[in-house]
Structure 1
Amino acid sequence: MAKPQPSWGLGIPGPDTPASPRTLRTLRKIQSHQVLSSSSALIAQTQNSHPGGQSADFDSGIPGSATRARAHRRARSNSDASTREAAATPPTTQRRPARKTGSGIGLKRSLLENFLRDGPQSDNPREGLQELKYLVLSSRVDADADGMSPYRIYLWLILLDIPPMPTDDYLALIHRGRSPAYAKIRNDTFRTLATDPLFKRRVTEASLIRLLNAVAWKLHDARPKPRSRPTSSRRREMELLVNTPPSIAEEPASVFGGELEKNKSNQPSDPAMYVQGMNVLCAPFLYAARSEVEAFALFHYFVTRECPGYIRGAMDGVHKGLRLVDRCLEIVEPKLAAYLFSKGMHAELYAFPSVLTLCACTPPLPEVLHLWDFLFAYGAHLNILCIVAQLIRMRDMIFESPSPNKILRSFPPLDAKEIIALTVLIVRKIPEDLYAEMITHAK
């Protein structure tokens, strides 16, 4: 088997590596997707540029130069039909003008895609990043009905500042076999987004197990190692015990680096290799990525840099986030907060999954991806306000229900556009000291 290239696992060769048939097939599929996405608009443009539709080869039915050129090509499979059509299309049609001639929303999407392809106009990286964030906020990422976008995963990599990861590094973790957290992982993976047909059709349980097991190995390697017991004679050990002050001699393990050091590694400040809920948090990364290596790089970075407090043994970051949901709701909607508190409904009872998974537990998955575009652009801490925004949208139902716990047991389907718009409005009402706590609560 060919050695994987140190890229995002797409199999795209470097400048000195000959292109393999698999690479050419991948490139043809990418080109095919581009042609199919703009074919109808290209036909409309050609008809407009030729009055009456008399000059286009595919309208007149007369074999033109493109048809003759296509006839001399060697036969390919049916899956390459769109690629052969693309090769026969005049060069001017490769600019995909359809998205630029559409509505204002289409123009904004085109600007975001062009930005990712061509880069910012300014040489200042800070200004370029601000421009990219504004484009994410002002327009949704161009995606199909399933939430799939050809460039979303690269947008996330840019926003989170994650460099490419060699595929061999990921394979090395896979080849290490089962991690100490493997049994816990297997107990959760089979029910990950079990009712979501989009996720089940695209992501296999095997890939989810591999990724979580690889992350568990990375977290295992990063844990502080207990000091081993020094190799010394029994006489030397007895001398140390005799010469040790009584307060320390009562705990001889602290002298020789035994059980005390082992207990230190079990403190809440130490990250766990796996906690329940990491499987749901990992799911959107696997769904949106084009390879497991991309998903691994994103997920590992996210749980270790953006929200390490969420995966500690005590999940102290999640509990801090739940208290912040109550405090923010009191400021933004005091009547709603008072009503929920009077019923004994604090965020700990209904918002734990939403805080831990950044709302990935609430379908539909395409809307989760749009919400994550916003969170990765402006900070995952804004998920606290996104939960508050969902409560505000449910306000009338909550007030009308004598038992709001039944309503809050499962949130209504996500509407990312409405939630983001409401979050942008209510963020102005949050005091600076409380907002600072939101930023650091998951660290």
Structure 2
Amino acid sequence: MSPNSSSSLVNTKLPFVPPPASPQSPRRLRKYQSHQSLTSTSYSSFGQPLSSAVGLNGNNSRQRDAASNGTTQDLQAEVTIRTRGRARSNSESGSSNVVSLVTATAKTRRPARKTDSSGYFIKRSGLDALLRDGPADGRLLETLQELRLMVLSNRVDADSDGMSTYRIYLWLALLGVPPLPTDEYLELVHRGRSPAYTKIRNDTFRTLATDPLFKRRVTEASLIRLLNAVAWKLHDAQQQNVKQPSSRPSSRRKELLELAIDSPPTIKEEPESESAPPIKPAIYVQGMNVLCAPFLYAARSEVEAFALFHYFVTKECPGYVRGAMDGVHKGLRLVDRCLEIVDPKLATYLFSKGMNAELYAFPSVLTLCACTPPLPEVLHLWDFLFAYGPHLNILCIVAQLNRMRDAILQSESPNKLLRSFPPLEADKVISLTVSFVRKIPDDLYDDLVDHAK
């Protein structure tokens, strides 16, 4: 694909190019037509990127009651019941018909199910089909909500290394990141060393150093290029004295979920203080290398990883990369507050031993649990976080503590146990996180949503 401007990439109708059969194929720039359709519709309909996957916000009682049962099936059933006129997905129905999702270009739909030689049905991935076909007749909100429910109830198809042919396009669609011209990234790379280059080089060689999957697929050179390009981008924004707009993506997610369950949205937009100067993000802080690693691992090109990572640190979690990392420290205090509510006995025991989250949870908060192997489970957890809001990472950390509670309560020195968390099991962590949502008071949940801004 030849690089063009962002608008031309969005509006140009390209023929569908199927993904390669193996994730080990040469890494080339590929874009799904549905990604172009989603980003084009989101900009034209709302005037801003659809960052905005729906969050499990605590202000909507009906939604949180659905999440309280702790199972993704109950949450999906609740939303299905309350949605008027939404066709059922293939995973919800025994019928062979799926939701009709077509792009502007007429094409023959593939059958949702096919049979093998013995006549048994072979189920096609609903996520794959939804990404390929895109939204039908402008049904962007319904399609995105359908996509999130599928993320909640089904794993992304991937091999044993966590590599998927469409995961990166899922992340781009959920976060509303438009296609980026390759020349824009290359221009930043060709500028050479940024003011943060020395700091970046001091960190990159340590990035997931003990993870053979990451080291086999991602080179240190690509990590340096991407972080250096992001540093130049942030540096330019500071030099031009341009304030990064506040997108409040979590509020937008809440609005979309309320629309999906046929409930009137109640969004409170906080007025910006005219006297307070804008808080500028740092161009690089220690730990950004680990936060960047899963983007590079899952992406099919550095350009895709750059677009996602830059969007994430400037719109989703800018408080994590400011010089004082105030968003991370707020998140650590929220881990303690949420643990007190979810598991008072465990929280009391840890506090009695002087174990606050500041002592053991800093890497998990900053990197969205990317510091806890294995990497394929991290990618699965990120599918959930990008669909329903990165603020839920705080509850994911509490869920990991809850799964360790017996060992912690029996230990005289829990600090030794908490130096490194046990291997991540994303399915169990997600299930516990969904069950914890109903227990969190509304005011505390609002703090969760806003802590990284």
Q: TM-score, normalised by structure 1?
A: 0.69
Mapped pair 1:332 → 2:342: yes
Give yes or no for contact 2:280–2:322 (8 Å, CA) kept in 1.
yes
Residue number in structure 2 paired with 1:250: none
How far does the alpha carbon of each residue in 1:111-161 deviate from its partner, in whole angstroms, 9 at most, with x for none?
111111112456431111111100000101010000000000000000000
Unaligned runs of 5+ in 1: 20-26, 37-92, 227-266
* Aligned 1:400-439 pairs, distance under 5 A: 400-439=410-449
Residues 116, 405 of structure 1: CA spacing in aligned structure 2 closer, same or farther, 3 A cutoff?
A: same
Counterparts of 2:21 and 2:278, CA distance in 1: 51
> What amino acid is the match of 2:224?
I
> What amino acid is the match of 2:299?
A
Residues 334, 268 of structure 1: CA spacing in aligned structure 2 closer, same or farther, 3 A cutoff?
A: farther
How far does the alpha carbon of each residue in 1:379-412 deviate from its partner, in whole angstroms, 9 at most, with x for none?
0000000000000000001011100000000000
Counterparts of 2:414 and 2:278, CA distance in 1: 33
Q: CA deviation at 1:95?
A: 8.9
Mapped pair 1:117 → 2:132: yes
Match of 1:174 among 189, 196, 220: 189
Secondary structure of 2:125's counterpart equals: helix
> What amino acid is the match of 1:191?
R
Counterparts of 1:132 and 1:199, CA distance in 2: 28
Q: CA deviation at 1:7?
A: 8.8
Residue number in structure 2 paired with 1:187: 202
Residue number in structure 2 paired with 1:198: 213
Residue number in structure 2 paired with 1:152: 167
Give yes or no for contact 1:100–1:110 (8 Å, CA) kept in 2.
no
How far does the alpha carbon of each residue in 1:189-238 deviate from its partner, in whole angstroms, 9 at most, with x for none?
00100000000000000000000000000010111558xxxxxxxxxxxx
Residue number in structure 2 paired with 1:382: 392
Secondary structure of 2:370's counterpart equals: coil
Counterparts of 1:101 and 1:201, CA distance in 2: 40
Give yes or no for contact 2:319–2:452 (8 Å, CA) kept in 1.
yes
Counterparts of 1:348 and 1:397, CA distance in 2: 20
Q: TM-score, normalised by structure 2?
A: 0.68
Q: CA deviation at 1:335?
A: 0.4
Counterparts of 1:370 and 1:95, CA distance in 2: 24
> What amino acid is the match of 2:114?
P
**Identical-residue share of aligned pairs (%):** 73
Q: CA deviation at 1:97?
A: 3.2
Counterparts of 1:102 and 1:359, CA distance in 2: 43
Give yes or no for contact 2:127–2:151 (8 Å, CA) kept in 1.
yes
Residue number in structure 2 paired with 1:128: 143
How many residues align structurally?
A: 331
Mapped pair 1:303 → 2:320: no
Match of 1:213 among 214, 217, 228: 228
> What amino acid is the match of 1:139?
N
Give yes or no for contact 2:343–2:402 (8 Å, CA) kept in 1.
yes
Mapped pair 1:289 → 2:310: no
Q: CA deviation at 1:269?
A: 2.9
Residue number in structure 1 paired with 2:3: 5
Counterparts of 2:165 and 2:188, CA distance in 1: 27
> What amino acid is the match of 2:3?
Q
Residues 115, 400 of structure 1: CA spacing in aligned structure 2 closer, same or farther, 3 A cutoff?
A: same
> What amino acid is the match of 1:150?
T
Give yes or no for contact 2:20–2:165 (8 Å, CA) kept in 1.
no
Give yes or no for contact 1:99–1:110 (8 Å, CA) kept in 2.
no
Residue number in structure 2 paired with 1:63: none
* Aligned 1:364-379 pairs, distance under 5 A: 364-379=374-389
> What amino acid is the match of 2:423?
P
Q: CA deviation at 1:376?
A: 0.1
Q: CA deviation at 1:357?
A: 0.2
* Aligned 1:20-419 pairs, distance under 5 A: 30=19, 32-33=21-22, 97=114, 107=123, 110-121=125-136, 123-224=138-239, 269-419=279-429
Cα RMSD (Å) of the superposition?
Answer: 3.2
With a CA cutoff of 8 Å and minimum separation of 6, indicate the structure with the bigger relative contact order.
2
Counterparts of 1:102 and 1:413, CA distance in 2: 40
Counterparts of 2:340 and 2:146, CA distance in 1: 33
Secondary structure of 1:97's counterpart equals: strand
Q: CA deviation at 1:270?
A: 2.2
Q: CA deviation at 1:32?
A: 4.3
Counterparts of 1:323 and 1:406, CA distance in 2: 21
> What amino acid is the match of 1:324?
L
Q: CA deviation at 1:365?
A: 0.2
How far does the alpha carbon of each residue in 1:42-65 deviate from its partner, in whole angstroms, 9 at most, with x for none?
xxxxxxxxxxxxxxxxxxxxxxxx
Counterparts of 2:142 and 2:160, CA distance in 1: 32
Residues 329, 268 of structure 1: CA spacing in aligned structure 2 closer, same or farther, 3 A cutoff?
A: farther
